[in-house]
Amino acid sequence: MNFELSDEQLAFAQLARDFARQDLAPFAAQWDAESIFPVDAFRKGGQLGFCGLYSPEAQGGLGLSRLDSALVFEELAAADPSTAAFFTIHNMATWMLCTWGQPALQAEWGERLTSGEQLASYCLTEPDAGSDAANLKTSARRDGDDYVLNGSKMFISGAGSTDMLVVMVRTGAAGAKGISAIAVPANLPGIRYGKKEEKMGWNSQPTRAIFFDDVRVPVANRLGEEGEGFRIAMKGLDGGRINIATCSVGAAQGALNAAQAYLGERKQFGKALAEFQALQFRLADMVTELVAARQMIRLAASKLDAGHRDASTYCAMAKRFATDAGFNVCNEALQLHGGYGYLRDYPLERLLRDARVHQILEGTNEIMRVIIARRMLEADAPESIR
């Protein structure tokens, strides 16, 4: 792990920063207020490679490392965490299809997804299987050359507006080993979408339930082998946890930038707020927390890129710490703005609302603690995590 970014990494980050400033920031408040899913922005980002950052080059992806990808996601999230988060979800689902899909499936869908021409959703959560994902009930019964899907998913980002669903289904006995992953075109007969959920944040991406009623999907659309779905889903979530942690750091950076500017501009009692030592100390704590979270994410990403045996633990630690720290920084930045921070004229309240859900999704922070503690209490637990 090198703390100094290379010229190539800096160039990727600058490309993302420019895109975020030109194509996300000016519209983020409107997308949030009017619940607009900005398909054109995703397609334009796709032209820059942002829809297939770590997908294989053979399917049109950039084949970047998770560390490199995190640099891009952070810049996008500093302008618009909600839209940036959907970029990460699409990247995760696309990577899964491009990595475990059969050649014909990859040929048909790979470049359409990595280019952003079409978009993908990740479908794991169910009404009775949230944190207990291994208990999912949606079934896929083999019938000749097809699977027949029945069941439901909920809290699915992009549902009803995307083209491909990467769905975890039960093809075998109870438990994790009976789960398979299937790529399901989103417009197949028998698929129904629930109402668009009204949410506290993340309003630039729709969230709906999905219902599968005797949906026939070719066996050739399975990702990996039968029974590998839970393992594939968890591998996707290792990266997804880094991604969503990065979105928290991006949101926090956007909030910190706004707070820095505001402290220099706003005057009280005859002097700028930046001259009050109490506020200087708060700013110092905010940036310290932010840098610590960023470095923890980059450490976890480097472990995942290296295939480290404890990469999942590092990803869980990064997700837990960075999403908590990111939300706290956004909250502090809003407080520094006083009453103005509560107004939609400023980005603080939107950044705060968007960042809050990061502590829940991709595995709640309570589940992250379970993952970390279980590893530390195993017989072959490392003496130290470094």
Cα dihedral 266→25→27→110 (10° resolution): -160
The enclosing H or E element of 86 equals helix 81-100
What is the rounded CA–CA span in Å between residue 260 and residue 280? 10
Residue partners of 370: CB distance under 8 A and separation at least 6: none
What is the rounded CA–CA span in Å between residue 328 and residue 316? 18
One-letter amino acid for residue 74 of the chain: E
What is the rounded CA–CA span in Å between residue 218 and residue 49? 29
Could you confirm whether 362 is annotated as catalytic?
yes
Residue partners of 181: CB distance under 8 A and separation at least 6: 96, 100, 166, 167, 168, 169, 222, 223, 224, 228, 229, 232, 233
Task: Outline where DSSP puts E strands in the chain.
Answer: 120-123, 139-143, 146-157, 164-170, 179-185, 191-193, 207-218, 222-223, 267-268, 271-272
Angle between helices 365-376 and 311-336 (to 10 degrees): 140
Q: Kindly state the tokens that stand for 204.
A: 């630039």
Select which of 362, 366, 378, 383 is catalytic: 362
SS3 state of residue 146: strand
**Cβ-contact 333, 311 below 8 angstroms:** no
The residue whose two tokens read 């000749």 is 144
Q: What amino acid positions are annotated as catalytic residues?
A: 362
